[in-house]
Chain A
Amino acid sequence: MGLVDWARIRSPWVIHFNTGACNGCDIEIVAALTPRYDVERFGIKLVGSPRHADVLVVTGPITKQVEKRIIRIYEQMPEPKFVMAVGNCCASSGAFRNCYNVYPGLDSLIPVDVYVMGCPPKPEAIINGVVKLIEKLRGGGS
C-alpha cells in the first residue's frame, strides 16, 4: 500500500446530495457527523463543493426532475470518486417503486459503489457503509 492509498483511505471527504428525500436519511447522516458518532475521527469531512469531494452521498428517490443535476454533480467531482446510495429510496426507489416520475434506483444513472439499506438507516449503518467503501479501496473485496 503506497503513500497515496494510505492518504486516500484516511481522508474521504463527503458531499451530501438530497434528490428529494423525506429528510429521514439526511437527519441520520447529520447524526453521524455530530458528537455522538463523530466521523471526523476517521478523517471524514463534509464539504460544500463537489470539486473538493471524494464521496458523493445521495439520499432520496431519484426523480426525473433531478436526473440532469445528479449527473452534473457527479461529473463535476474530480477522479477518483465514489458514490454511496443511502436509504431504500435511493438504492431501489423504495416506497416509490413503479412510480411514473421515479427511476428504479441511483445505479440506473451513475455507477454506485456502496448501498446502505434502511428507512432510514441508522448512523451505525452509514458508518459501516463507509467502512465497506474503504475496504473496497484497499482492494479487499466489497
Chain B
Amino acid sequence: MMLQEVIDIVKVLVFPGFLFFSILGLLYEWIDRKFYARLQNRVGPLYTGPSGFLQPFADFVKLMAKEDVVPEGAEKPIFSAVPVFALALSLFAVLFLPVYGTRGIISFEGDIVVLMVIMTLFVVLIFLGGISSASRYSEIGSERAILQLLGYEIPLVASVIGAAAVTVKANPSLSIRGIVEAQSGLWSIFGIQALGFAIFLLAAQAELERTPFDIPEAETEIVAGWMTEYSGKKLALLRLARDVELAFLCGLGATLFLGGPQPVFPGAAGTVISTVLFVVKSIVVLLILTLLRAAMSRLRIDQMVNFAWKYLMPLSILQLSLAVLIPNLLAF
C-alpha cells in the first residue's frame, strides 16, 4: 500500500510528470530554435553544451538569478501570481498525456473536455498578466490575446472533439485513453482526420502565440506584448510554462492524430520503447510547427480573426461532421 503511494508520487513528480516534461519543454525549445535557425541558413545555439543543447537551460538559470522588477503602478498580487499559475497550469495539463501505455497519470471518461478548459484558462492568465502590469503595451497585448482566442478556440475544440470520432465505431468515448486505443490499428491522420490535424496545428500555433499568430507579443509593434513588464524570476517561470505548453500541445497532437504511444509489449523495455515513440512523434509535430513559424510572417489581428471565422471555422465544422458521419454511414 505504502509502496504504491510512493510510486504514484514519483510518477507525478519525476516520470512521466513534472520533471520529465520540464526537461522535455527545454529540449523542445532547443530543437525549435535550432531548426528555425537552420531554415534561415544560420547555425543557432552552438557553444552552450554539445551543439548548444543547454541554451534554454542557461537562459532559465540566468533569468532566475536576475533582479525581479515590479512596476510601480502594477496590481502586485495578480502580477506576481500569474507566472506561478501559468507554470502550475501547464504542468497540470501534461499529467493527462499518455507517455507510455494508453493512459496518462490522470485519466477518466471526458478528460478531453477538461483539457479544453485548461487551454482556455491559459489565455485568461495571459489577459490578467497583461492587464495587471500597468503598461500600455501589455494591455494591447492582452486585448489581442483575447481577440485571437475568439478566432482559434472553436476550431481547436472542434478538431480535438473530431479526433474523438475515431472511437465511434467500437466503443464511443471522450477520453484520451479511448482515442489512443481506437488508433491501435490505423492512425487517425490517415483519413478524414488529416484535415483535423491541419486545423489542430494552426490552432496550436495560435495558442502558443507563434508566427504567423504571434500578434499578442508582436515584437516590432508592441515591444513584447503582454510579457513586456515581466523580468527576472517571473519571466523565467513564464518562459518555462511556455515551453511545457509547447511540449504539451505537441504531445497532444501526436496522441490524438499520430497514434500516440502504443504499448509495444509489457515490461520495462516496452515502457522505454513507447516513451521514445511518444517523444519522436511529438518531435515530428514540433518540426511542423517550427516550419510554419519560419515560413510565414505575422498577420494583423483583423486578418487573423477574419481567416479563423471565414475558413478555419467552416472547415472544422465540416471535418467534425464528416468524421462523425462517415463511420456511421459505413456501418449501414
Chain A residues proximal to chain B, CB less than 8 Å: 3-4, 6-8, 10-11, 34-35, 38, 40-43, 47-49, 51-52, 54, 76, 78-80
Contacts and interface: CB of A to CB of B under 8 A. Distances in A.
Given A40-B42, A41-B44, A49-B223, A11 B235 contact: no
Contact of A51 (B43, B47, B220, B228): B228
Contacts of A43: 45, 47-48, 52, 55, 58-59
B69 interface: yes
Contacts of B228: 48-49, 51
Contacts of B230: 51-52
B52 A7 contact: no
Contact of B219 (A8, A41, A48, A80): A48
6 contacts: A11-B48, A35-B41, A40-B45, A43-B55, A47-B224, A52-B231
Given A4-B61, A51-B228, 11 more contacts: A10-B47, A11-B59, A38-B37, A38-B44, A40-B42, A41-B47, A43-B52, A48-B223, A51-B69, A52-B227, A52-B230
Contacts of B65: 4, 7-8
Nearest to B54: A10
B52 A79 contact: no
A37 to B, nearest CB: 9
A78 B65 CA distance: 10
B46 interface: yes
Contacts of B46: 41-42
A49 B61 CA distance: 19
Contact of B231 (A8, A11, A51): A51
B66 A7 contact: no
Interface residues of B, number: 37
Nearest 6 Cβ contacts at the A-B interface: A7-B61, A78-B67, A51-B231, A79-B67, A41-B46, A49-B224
A78 B68 contact: yes
Contacts of A8: 62, 65
A70 B48 CA distance: 32
B58 A35 contact: no
B40 interface: yes
B62 A4 contact: yes
Interface in B47-101: 47-48, 52, 54-55, 57-62, 65-69
Given A43-B55, A78-B232, A49 B43 contact: no
Nearest to B40: A35
A38 B55 contact: no
B217 to A, nearest CB: 9
A33 to B, nearest CB: 9
B293 interface: no
B83 to A, nearest CB: 13
B33 interface: yes
Nearest to A38: B42
Contacts of A76: 69
Nearest to B69: A78
B139 interface: no
Interface in B227-258: 227-232, 235
B66 A80 contact: yes
Contacts of B62: 4, 7-8, 10-11, 54
